[in-house]
Amino acid sequence: MALVTASLVRAAAAPQTTGWEIVRRNFLVYRRDWLVFLTGFLEPVLYLFSIGVGVGRLVEGFDVNGHLVPYAAFVAPGMLAASAMNGAVLDATFGIFFKLRYDKVYEGVLATPMRTLDIARGELTWCLMRSAVYSLGFLLVMAAMGLVESWWAVLAWPATWLIGFAFGGAGMALTTFMKSWQDFEYIGLALVPMFLFSATFFPVTAFDGWLRWLVEATPLYRGVALVRELTTGAVTADSLVSVLYLLVMGAIGVLVASRRFDKLLLS
């Protein structure tokens, strides 16, 4: 109770913050562990070389909105979306859980003028930055390999920010409900099927009926579809649907996370 009172008094006596202090703290921590920072980037790159290039020698390609796209160029956008997802999820789940449940970082943060909303915004900003770094690196690999089919691809990097925002917000919200490390098994249980079946390696037309509808409703599919349309130049109105879907998902996640932080840290 004393911590809550001190936090409220300080917040009333000093200007509100933006959460940038959380970003700066995370940067200082990862500056000493930059190899760990790169782990989420390397996995999609290895998938691209092993499946996109290897299997691509055996598969001619797929149709994307009337455009025949080589298999490697078809898979690469899916890996780009997965890279953005990885960059956001790693810190939004494991990182926040450790700071919330074990390191007790946020209790100390609330002894300053910062609010729980600032914590949520700061952590989400950091997730977006990590996601953006992963995505930019992967996009440069795609360009170097000749897997970019259109100038629309200049919008693919901003599109990955939406993917990071959606998964970062949702991951942060879900993490506030977790009570032990065993709960992270559910994260893997959700992410692995999405990665394998969200039209990453083959078209969504491979599914029929309700199963196709289910796949198209997943957030990673919306990210893959958006990035694939941009990198191949086969842009349709479906891209707008994906943009709105990812924005709403991220906004709901941030709202839920902020309220859960209130409950966990101020009560």
Say which residue, 19 or 168, is predicted with more confidence.
168
Return the closest-CA partner of residue 122 out of 109, 108, 107.
109
Output the six-digit token pair for 163.
């993917």
Kind and range of the H or E run holding 64 = strand 61-64
Higher pLDDT, 1 or 182: 182
Using CA of residue 84, residue 185, residue 43, residue 33, what is the dihedral sign?
Answer: positive
Of these ranges, 11-25, 56-70, 128-142, 167-181, the one predicted with the greatest mean pLDDT is 167-181
User: Where does 176-232 have alpha helices with state H?
Assistant: 184-197, 209-216, 219-232
Joined together, the tokens standing for residue 162 give 């939406």
Query: What are 72-92's pLDDT values in tens digits?
Result: 889 899 989 988 998 888 889
pLDDT at 245: 96
Tell me how far CA of residue 95 lies from CA of 15, 86, 184, in angstroms: 28, 13, 12
Closest CA to 249 of 184, 189, 165, 172: 165
Could you state, in order of their start, the residue ranges of all structural domains in the chain? 2-265
Please answer whether residues 19 and 122 qualify as being in contact, where contact means their C-beta atoms are separated by less than 8 angstroms.
Answer: yes
Write the CA distances from 80 to 129, 159, 191, 217, 228, integer angstroms.
15, 10, 15, 19, 9
CA angle (94, 49, 185) in 5-degree steps:
25
| Tens digits of residue pLDDT in 3-36 | 444 444 444 444 456 678 888 888 887 777 666 6
Element (H, E) at 62: strand 61-64
Q: Read off the tokens for 172.
A: 């942060």
pLDDT of 178 strictly over 80: yes
pTM of the model: 0.86
The pLDDT, as a whole number, for residue 34 is: 66
Tens digit of each residue's pLDDT (9 = 90 or more) over 91-114: 899 889 988 888 888 888 888 888
Q: What's the mean pLDDT in 225-233?
A: 92
pLDDT tens by residue, 110-130: 888 888 888 888 889 988 988
Could you tell me which residues come within 8 angstroms of residue 92 by beta carbon, excluding any fewer than 6 positions away?
123, 124, 127, 167, 168, 169, 170, 171, 172, 175
User: What's the confidence (pLDDT) of residue 7?
Assistant: 45
